[in-house]
Every structure is written in C-alpha cells, then in structure tokens.
Amino acid sequence: MTTRIELGQALRQLPLEAPASSLWPALQTHLPDKPVRTIWPLALAASAALLALLLFTDRTRPPLTADLAQQVSAVDMTRLMDRSAQLENSFYALQDDDQSSATVIAANLGIEDRLQAIDSQLAAQPASDDAQRLWQQRIELLDQGVALNRTNAAYRAEGNDFDLALASLN
Amino acid sequence: MKPFSPFAIDVPDSLIQRAKRGDRRAFEHIYRCFERPIYTLGLRLCGQPSEAQDVLQDCMIKVMTRISEFKGQSPFWGWLRQIAVNEALMRLRRSAKGFLEEDVYEAELTDAGCLLPPEAAEAASLIEALRALPAATRAVMWLYHAEGFTHEEIAAQTGKSISFSKSQLSRGTRKLRQLLALEPEQGQHT
C-alpha cells in the first residue's frame, strides 16, 4: 500500500521562495538615521583614561620599586591596547555584509555585543587590576572575529558555502 | 511543540535591542532571516512575484519604522509575521482577485480527502496546482495549512466569516485534487 501524505504536510514541505535579487540595498535607505556603534567611544574613553595615567607619571623622579613595576605593567598594557586596535581594524575591514550569510552576520554581531560588554567594564574601571585581563579578553575575542571573517572570505573566494561547512561541524 | 511556520525563527533579544537603536547590521540580519518566509507568503497569497516583492519591501519598511512598538510579550517572529500577513491581505483585498466571493456552503472534507499520493505531493506539481486556485481560496489554504492559523483567526484577518474560511478550505482541497488529477474523494459532496 502506498503511503499517502497529508495535504498540510505537503504544503509545509514546499521549498521557500526567494526574490530575484536582494531588496536590502534599497531597503536600507529607509532606516532611521541614528547613531549606532557604541564600541568605539567606550574603547576610546578607556584608552584615553589609561593614556592619561601613563602621561602623568612623574618621570623625573628616581624610579622606586613600586613605580618600576607600574611602568613595566603600563608598557604591557600599551602593547595589549595596540594589538587590540590592530585586530579591531582588521575585524571591521574583513566584514562584508553584502556577501556574508545571516549566520556570519549574527556571529559578528554577537562578538560586537561581547566587545561592548568588555568596553563598558573598561570604561568603568580603566586602571584597575582587572584591566589587563579585560584587554586580553578583548584581543582573544577580536582574534576569533578576524579568523571567522577570514575563513568566510576564503570560502567565498573558492565559491563554497561557509554555512554548509559550519553545519557539517555540528 | 515548535511552531511549524517558516517564520518561527528565534531572534536574540540583544539583536532586537540593537535594531531598536537603529543598528543597520541588526536590521540586515533580520532581513536575511525573514526574506524567504515573507516573500513566500506574499507569493502564495498574492500570486505574482512582483506582488510578493512589494509585500516583502513594505513589510520590512514597517518592521524598520515600527520596531519600537514591539514590546517582547510574544515572539518577535509572530509580530513580524502579522505585519507580513496584513500587508499581503491588504494587497489581495485591493486587487480585483480579492475576497469578493460570498459565503457558499461547501461540505467539509473527510480525512481521506486531505491525503495525497506521494507523486501529487511533489513540489513542482503542487505549486502549479496552487497557482491555478482562486486567490482567496489559495490564501485561506496557505494561512491554514502552512502558517497554522485557525479558522477564527483567518476570519478575523480576512474580514469574512468562519464558515467562509472553512468552505474555502474544503473547496480549495477538492479543486487541488482535481488539478492534480486525483480520484474524487469517497462520498464527495457535489
């Protein structure tokens, strides 16, 4: 006996249709004109506060042990901040929303959300003991973002679907 | 149980908050998630690709301009789907092929009448048969079967009666069976 299919199920199984071309380029002109990214101001505020701390260190005074430790720590921090800025540039430069899938855009937005959370903590306590750890976290997160967008670009360049590759990992 | 509507896509609250702040990329993500469900709904209800495209465009513009009205008391996809359904039905109502028919009694189908052999459920033939249905009938069938609306909900949205929705569903199913060249339902009302 042939198995029959319920009409509703058959209709629900029909493939979804898509427009001939994306309407997004035209649609985005309708977006309200509002400021969006809050990451940069917060990161800059955090950086500025830390820089101010470094600049106001009295360099004429003979270094004491505690000052020396502070200076070494400040140098480390500057390196972390430089690295973070470098990665942040790459992270945004590598993103290509017109060519990326919804999954990749969502992943990038997720990273931005987490960056924003870190930046908020840095802005609240720029010179705390935790600052170094937070900058390190920021770098690791941006590293992941850069790797994600590089891999996505490489897949696209070869005409492959990055989403399918991601799905096959699950 | 997870709703079977193609609109049933979970959107993180953080993304909605970003969209409410006017984040272009958050809206782009929403567009990409819902592009196909909205377009498909527009195509099934209105019939023509150009109309489906208009439904998609107008629906997204409403989502972008009214997102602050979304209070999060129900899933975001349900809110967005309602905008899409309203847009599609409004177009259908305005067109000559809208809900002009009067309520005509049509006997309800037996369970067997709603079953299709596998070859009839093949996508290309089913889509072709759907296209041949009267617009109002196709709209009711799609809202009921593919989107899971009740007859009460369909009646409220189309401005017709519950019996109209039920009759259209029975009529549409019979017509679809004819178009798919299937044998008549046992004991069918003629």
pLDDT tens profile A21-59: 889 989 988 887 654 444 444 445 444 444 444 444 344
Interface test with B, best of A14, A29, A40, A149 (most B CBs within 10 A): A14
- Domain-wise residue ranges, chain A: 80-170
Q: What is the pLDDT of residue B129?
A: 92
Report yes or no: B55 and B13 within 8 Å, Cβ to Cβ.
no
Question: Which of A10, A16, A110 is opposite residue B126, by nearest beta carbon?
Answer: A10
Contact A24 B32 (CB under 8 A): yes
Phi (first) and psi of residue B4, to 5 degrees: -90, -5
CATH 1.10.1740.10, chain B: domain bounds: 13-94
Contact B114 A6 (CB under 8 A): yes
In this prediction, residues A121-140 reach a mean pLDDT of 82
Q: What is the pLDDT of residue A158?
A: 83
Q: What is the pLDDT of residue B100?
A: 62
In order of A33, A117, B46, B86, B168, the CA distances from B94 in angstroms are 32, 48, 11, 12, 19
- Helix ranges, chain A (H): 7-12, 24-27, 39-55, 65-94, 102-124, 131-157, 162-169
- Classify domain B13-94 by CATH number: 1.10.1740.10
In order of A125, B98, B130, the CA distances from B158 in angstroms are 57, 10, 19
3-class state of residue A93 by DSSP: helix
3-class state of residue B115 by DSSP: strand
Phi (first) and psi of residue A68, to 5 degrees: -60, -45
Tokens, residue A122: 């840095």
Q: What is the pLDDT of residue A36?
A: 47
CATH 1.10.10.10, chain B: domain bounds: 112-179
Task: Tell me the pLDDT tens digit for each residue of B131-179.
Answer: 999 999 999 999 999 999 999 999 999 888 899 999 999 999 989 888 8
Average pLDDT, chain A: 75
What is the residue type of A138?
Answer: R
Q: What is the pLDDT of residue A55?
A: 45
Q: What is the pLDDT of residue A40?
A: 45
More confident residue, B76 or A34: B76
Q: Which residues pair with A6 in a beta bridge?
A: B115
Q: What is the pLDDT of residue A53?
A: 41
Architecture of B112-179 per CATH?
A: Orthogonal Bundle (1.10)
Lowest mean pLDDT among A74-78, B18-22, B174-178: A74-78
Interface test with B, best of A11, A13, A115 (most B CBs within 10 A): A11
pLDDT over 90 at B188, yes or no? no
Q: What count of other Cβ atoms lies within 10 Å of the Cβ of residue A2?
A: 7
User: Which band of pLDDT confidence, cut at 50, 70 and 90, is reported for residue A68?
Assistant: low
Q: What is the pLDDT of residue B187?
A: 45
